[in-house]
Structure 1
Amino acid sequence: MQPSAIPLGTAIMNPCLCVLLVLLSFSISTVDALLHSLMVLRLSFCTDLEVPHFFCELDQVIMLACSDTLINNILIYVTAGIFAGVPLFGIIFSYIHIVSSVLQMPSSGGMYKAFSTCGSHLSVVSLFYGTIFVVYISSAVTDSHRNAAVDSVLYSVVPQMLNPFIYSLRNRDMKEALRKLMGRIPSLL
């Protein structure tokens, strides 16, 4: 009797584990948001202040405080380091292993397909982390409220808006349509 072939992904990711991962993610994000909210409640604010943003971003609210915000700023940097740094380290670590495995593949077609799949993901991750990095570096250098508002929209909307486009570039029809569009652009100018 031959053992049935169970796909490895099915054996590792079962519905129970999936629910646990969703609950863990929800719990961690709720605790983080609650912690920052409680820390902002302890601050005192001056009167007649406006948040010069499209939405109340935590760092912009903290900038309006009249009291000492050192603990709040330290908490922001620590949680950002954990919630952005740990996943980024995990992605880099994973891709080091993926690239070393792909380079050992005997067929160039398989290597191309693997790098094509990885390229889409790396584009999305780079776009997300890159926009956040640029926004926070530029906000540390300049003190323009208008630029900060535009930058916050940039990192909260643009990466998510471009995700479907980047992943659809793996489709042959989309690639051909993009080539035709790019060929027409010089004639339009």
Structure 2
Amino acid sequence: MVDQQLAKSFESIGEEYDRYRPGFPDAAADAILPERVNAVLDLGAGTGKFTELLVERADRVIAIEPSVAMLDVLRAKLPAIETRVAGAEDIPLDRASVDAVTVAQAFHWFDRDPACAEIRRVLKPGGVLGLLWNHSDPSCAWDYACHRIATPPSVRATRRRMPRLMNCPDSSSNTSTTSPGSRRSRVRRISHAG
């Protein structure tokens, strides 16, 4: 269950989010898209922290985000990217229209069942869903302590249940990458059989 009050708190803080939220390592994008694709959707794109890594990996990049404030920052940074204001539960794209869907640091905000149905609908057969999160480095005490303060227990619980939540019979793999500043990114790559 998504905490709607907490979710709405992100709607007006685009510039602050972009300034203070850590980015993602190139290796995370490489794990999801090891080869260039025609079209990729970054779902829950926020301010484009991960979207910017997709530009060199796809001919067409589409960013969908429900927060106008977040998309305004993304549009300023990446003016050539297609953007749409929408949620994961009603993706404004045609059936089988993208080779990959990426969700960076946002899947826990989605209403799982309708979002997964929409992701399946827009993915081409053989397409890939890439889910990723930055998380604390357990070997760094201050990073781990900050993470526990900044990450609500409901989000931590959702991340622990992620493999079960996806309920996806298709092939999947997990990868961890390290980014500068003692942050790690966890990537779950799920191939859609069609």
Alignment TM class, shorter chain as reference: under 0.3
TM-score relative to the length of structure 1: 0.21
TM-score relative to the length of structure 2: 0.21
